[in-house]
Amino acid sequence: MYNETVISNGKKISAGKLVVGLVLLVIGVATFLESANLWDSGSLWSYWPLILIAIGAANELDAIRRRKSDGSYVLLGIGIWMLAGSFGLFGLSWAEAFPLAIVVAGLGVLLHAIIDVPSPQEKENQHERQQ
């Protein structure tokens, strides 16, 4: 119910699935154009960690809407780590950028500890333990 984005005609779609589909479409078209010698992607492939970031962010948005963690923050953290390490962002090497992934994952765990709603079964188990 909360994990879907409503588009203008009232149909609901998942933001995570939408991003994954768009990413696959773009990669497929770019690869086809390159193999047909119609386009040279050159250094564009060096930005591939942005794919992980986009998928992780879209899935995390769905998880926040559902108020149920799915671990997307880990993918988001890995993407940020790889992007920072690949380009030396802020002068960081791969090893020095790794704590960024840990920080993002930690923030995701904290966020979901605060906002996640327990399932009906979890609520029932908590109620039984209190009695």
Query: Cβ distance 56 to 16 under 8 Å?
Result: no
Domain boundaries, the chain: 5-119
How does DSSP assign 85-131, residue by residue? HHHTGGG--HHHHHHHHHHHHHHHHHHHHHHPPPPHHHHHHHHHHH-
Q: List, for residues 61-117, the tens digit of each pLDDT value.
A: 888 888 888 889 999 999 999 999 999 998 999 899 999 999 999 999 999 999 988
Q: Name the pTM for this structure.
A: 0.72
DSSP assignment, residue 56? H
Asked which of 2-16, 20-34, 47-61, 102-116 is least confident by mean pLDDT, the reply is 2-16
Under the banding of pLDDT at 50, 70 and 90, the label for residue 1 is very low
